[in-house]
Structure 1
Amino acid sequence: MPDAIDLEVVRQMLPTTPYGTGVREIRPPVQFNDDAFEGMLARDPNDHEVWGIAYNGKSRPERQRFTIAHELGHFILHRSRQQSFNCDKQSVHTGIDTLRDIEREADDFASNLLMPGDLLRAWISSQRIDFHVLGDIAKRFQVSLEALCIRYIKFTTERAILVYWDNGYVKYEWRSGSARRTRARIRRNGDPAEPPLGTLAADASITQEWDGTEMSAAIWCPEEAQHMKLREFKHTFGARDRVLTLLLLESAEPRSWDRSWQDEESFDSFDQFVTNGQLPDRR
């Protein structure tokens, strides 16, 4: 059986489960081509037992797939709150607490649905990680490399940091649990931060490094000892103004006085969904 979850089966299944109570149908997703639009979930104003999903047809297929899963997350988690959800590309970063929270919850749900943790954990624990390995896993799940890397950060036992750069400035930084416990974080040289000198991320002549380049961890992380090493990976997207950096650091002992990592644990909304056995068997 394919590793990728069949979203069409999930869509058709949901109204027959406790998570679809009061709903007769979720209509097949439809395209809506608008650069500012990412996705939408809405109740039919003429038939309250019917909901519909729309997605940006201009997006890459992997992004369309994530968007549909995201809207299914809204259906399960949030439809009792409002009649429609309009998800633009910046909705998570609006600064409006309620909107930001529900968008992040829907993103968490989509990640869990499309990239099951049991499979991912088994695959990443059995081999040495590089962008080739993560890219292959992304293809198996039919998701983007970026989405897979974010998911990887949550499940890896390695000290790992993922950084997304937009026009030369950091847009987000994700740290694995072991990276947080050892206080590993990237050097901040401004607000927003730029890549540190001497790194692949700072070298515009290097667009891809999927095998990894070893260097002193202190170049990236100011609290790391000089003898510590890391491997830096780089992926430049087609537009060349967006870059993904993955840092895999040597292991280190947790710094027991630092408890800030505990505040960054996120709730897996999808885990609650699958607890009751509502997900179709993927084996």
Structure 2
Amino acid sequence: MKDVEERAEAVLAGLPSYVWDGERLPVPVEDIANSGFGLLVRDVEDLGTAPGAPVLRDGQSLSGLLLPARGEIWVNAAEARQWPPRRRFTIGHELGHWVMHRTGQQALFCRRSKVDETVTLPARDSAAATSGTAVARDIEEEASAFAAALLMPQWLFVREHARCDGDVATLCAAFGSSIAATERRIASLF
């Protein structure tokens, strides 16, 4: 995942200072998607209405999706209202798909368990996986790693971790991240 970390760092380094100055927290992920990549972020009540949306089983829901041809990221509006840090992570996750996986894709759909920072599943839920196309790497895990690196850049995370003596609640507040995502970032960096 080192290459994923480097991709996120390159995105952050390439942003104009009016989008992000390299220091301000939390990292403005929606501004990055919009001003940095020209992607419209929409909070949508029913992601199943998206063109080509997969049929979901009872209890399944979509957390977010990327529609590359339309230049849009759709976020589950109910989840966004209930868990604002999850909304940020979902946008970062879909932006990861844009940066690393959009070539040849009509759409990428991420079920809730795929962007839930507490769940690790081997299966991939993407347009490629549902169409039967072989996928050599776990693009969902890559997109989640990208989101973590984008929202909690290593150099800032290490600095803030030292500043607050590793207090998870303080780190969550600074980075606008969930407890689970913050704890995973700590585990990956320390």
TM-score, with structure 1 as normaliser: 0.45
1:134 positional shift: 1.0
1:121 positional shift: 0.9
* Preserved CA contact (<8 Å) 1:41 1:75: yes
* Preserved CA contact (<8 Å) 1:115 1:141: yes
Aligned-pair Cα RMSD in Å: 2.3
1:33 positional shift: 4.2
Within 2, Cα distance between the matches of 1:107 and 1:143?
A: 13
Residue of structure 2 in register with 1:74 after alignment: 97
1:11 positional shift: 1.6
1:135 positional shift: 0.9
* Preserved CA contact (<8 Å) 2:122 2:138: no
Of the candidates 56, 65, 69, which is equivalent to residue 76 of structure 2? 56
1:37 positional shift: 1.2
1:95 positional shift: 2.7
Within 1, Cα distance between the matches of 2:143 and 2:89?
A: 10
Q: 1:41–1:65: structure 2 CA closer, same or farther, 3 Å change rule? A: same
Of the candidates 29, 34, 45, which is equivalent to residue 42 of structure 2? 29
* Preserved CA contact (<8 Å) 2:41 2:75: no
Within 2, Cα distance between the matches of 1:30 and 1:127?
A: 33
More strand by share: 1
Give % identity: 27
Of the candidates 68, 73, 77, which is equivalent to residue 43 of structure 1? 68
Residue of structure 2 in register with 1:4 after alignment: 26
1:87 positional shift: 0.3
Of the candidates 110, 115, 135, which is equivalent to residue 98 of structure 1? 135
Secondary structure of 1:82's aligned partner? coil
1:126 positional shift: 4.7
1:82 positional shift: 1.0
Residue of structure 1 in register with 2:162 after alignment: 125
* Preserved CA contact (<8 Å) 1:38 1:55: yes
1:100 positional shift: 6.7
Matches within 5 A, 1:166-205: none
Within 2, Cα distance between the matches of 1:74 and 1:13?
A: 17
Within 2, Cα distance between the matches of 1:144 and 1:89?
A: 15
Within 2, Cα distance between the matches of 1:55 and 1:94?
A: 23
* Preserved CA contact (<8 Å) 1:33 1:58: no
Q: Tell which has more relative contact order, 1 or 2 (C-alpha 8 A, sep 6+).
A: 2
Q: Give the length in aligned residue pairs.
A: 139
Secondary structure of 1:98's aligned partner? coil
**Structure 2 residue ranges without an equivalent (≥5):** 1-22, 48-59, 115-119, 125-133
Secondary structure of 1:28's aligned partner? strand
Within 1, Cα distance between the matches of 2:68 and 2:156?
A: 34
